[in-house]
Amino acid sequence: MAPSLVAQLRRQLNEMIGAVIVLDGVVIAIYYGMHVPDKPYKQQELFVGVWTVLTLLVVASGMGRIRATRARIRQARAGDGGARGAPGA
């Protein structure tokens, strides 16, 4: 696997994790800023449901980018004849 592709995979994973952390930080700030714990239970459920869907969207888009990069890696290996180097060589 080319070092640049490995670095790209790591970067994409770190970006996705960072995006989830930022999203959680913003949503937690909104949660307390809007006094959601003091709201009726149904409103709290709605808030958490929206938060969960937003997190799902962030993770799904990040995983889509990672899967696309992994597909490029597989294509590059197939173009190489699948050679990874002989063991012990």
State the average pLDDT over residues 29-53. Answer: 97
Q: Is pLDDT of 1 > 70?
A: no
Task: Tell which wins on pLDDT, 67 or 86.
Answer: 67
Determine the Cα angle at 42 with ends 29 and 48, to 5°. 40
Q: Is pLDDT of 81 > 70?
A: no
Q: Are 12 and 62 in contact (CB under 8 A)?
A: yes
Determine the Cα angle at 31 with ends 33 and 58, to 5°. 130
* Element spanning 74, H or E: helix 41-79
Q: Are 6 and 14 in contact (CB under 8 A)?
A: no
Residue 34 — very low, low, confident or very high, per pLDDT cuts 50/70/90?
A: very high
State the average pLDDT over residues 22-30. Answer: 98
Whole-model pTM?
Answer: 0.78
